[in-house]
Amino acid sequence: MNNRYLAVAIIFFIVMVASAAWGYTLYEEPTRERKESVDYAFTYGGNYSLYAEVINENPIYPIGTVLTDMAGYFYSISPEVEVEFRFDFEPTIDGASVEVGAVTVLRLQSLDDNEKPFWTREFELSNSSATLEGTSYYTDRFTIDAKQIGEIDEEISEIVGGASGRAVGYLVTTATMNGSISSTNIGENETYSLPIYFRSDYYFADPEGATTGMKTKSYYTIIDVETQRGIRDLWLQIALASLGLIGFVASLWTGRSKGRYDYSEFADWISIGTFPGGDWEKEVYIPTLKDLVDVAIDTGKRVIYDKEDKIFFVIDGNILYFLLIGEEA
């Protein structure tokens, strides 16, 4: 084998062995991983529901019908709307309790075409509280005189300007929650809102513009866990070892292929022999076997192949023509 290929093979072999040893050491060596263990948690949040009872004669609904989830409500049919604010508390362990307070206002605004307010007026609708223990909820109900709000919008617009029938009232509930869970104090403040639009003849809520929903707060213990590395954790070491193995095998194969010189094309002009060595009047290096065969034909000689010394040569008197295997062009 050519020394160059042998050196390359040795380098790849070292890479392969070193990478495999590195990966094995890491695999056998336990590692510590920090993990969060949830001790307890609680979920809480507020949502609104609207109910409008039909109290006036109309050709659509019987009196007493309760309308909900409608695209709109008419002042002439259901001039008042009942709002229910529901607050949920869901702890994951027993023994948790909280005191919940909720203040709800209606923030009435008249908007221009760019959704900027001409004026703002605020009405307090409710101020309530409740104690919740374990998984429970409380509801706060209050009534909005939608027809009166529409009239207030028209009255204010006539005084201060701005288009009437474009008022939006934001139900805004500020909820406070204080208590404890597993001897840990709870203190949360959240604001929830729901837009209600008041037009000339009807009003409607906009659930998509609401700020409502549930949140979860968890309490953790940070622990150190001893783990074993998996195959995916050792991808670099495996890749390097594989590269070393492929390079090692390829270098050996290439080197041996170079050592087994295929001269069958010129077998009629080549004989097996031994290189005699000695001093020559002239030594001529021939870059290819074909050129060396041409020299043999021109001089009436044969090409001699010494497998031991890996050399092809032609001797013409005291002149040596030669080609070393592995150095041919």
Q: What is the pairing mode between strands 319-324 and 282-285?
A: parallel
Reading the chain (329 residues) residue by residue, the pLDDT tens digits are: 555 656 666 777 777 777 777 666 766 677 767 777 788 999 999 999 999 999 999 999 999 999 999 999 999 999 999 999 999 999 999 999 999 999 999 999 887 777 788 889 999 999 999 999 999 999 999 999 999 998 888 888 888 866 666 789 999 999 999 999 998 999 999 999 999 999 889 999 999 999 999 999 999 887 776 676 666 666 676 777 677 677 666 666 665 555 445 667 788 888 999 988 878 889 999 988 889 899 999 999 999 999 888 889 999 989 999 998 765 55
pLDDT at 9: 66
Torsion of CA 178, 179, 183, 186, to 10 degrees: -30
In 3-state terms, what secondary structure has residue 50?
A: strand
Vertex 323, ends 317 and 324: CA angle to 5°? 130
Q: What are phi and psi of 314, to 5 degrees?
A: -130, 130
Q: What are phi and psi of 270, to 5 degrees?
A: -120, 135
The CA distance from 293 to 270, in Å, is 8
pLDDT at 53: 97
**DSSP H or E run through 179:** strand 167-181
Structure tokens at 150: 């529409």
Q: Any residues with CB less than 8 A from the CB of 261 and at least 6 apart, and which?
A: 310, 325
pLDDT at 248: 65
pLDDT at 254: 64
The CA distance from 144 to 80, in Å, is 6
pLDDT at 106: 96
In 3-state terms, what secondary structure has residue 47?
A: strand
pLDDT at 244: 66
Q: How far apart are the first and last CA of the chain?
A: 18
The CA distance from 279 to 320, in Å, is 9
Partners of 79 in the β-ladder: none
pLDDT at 266: 84
DSSP secondary structure, 125-140, as one string: EEEEEEEEESSEEEEE
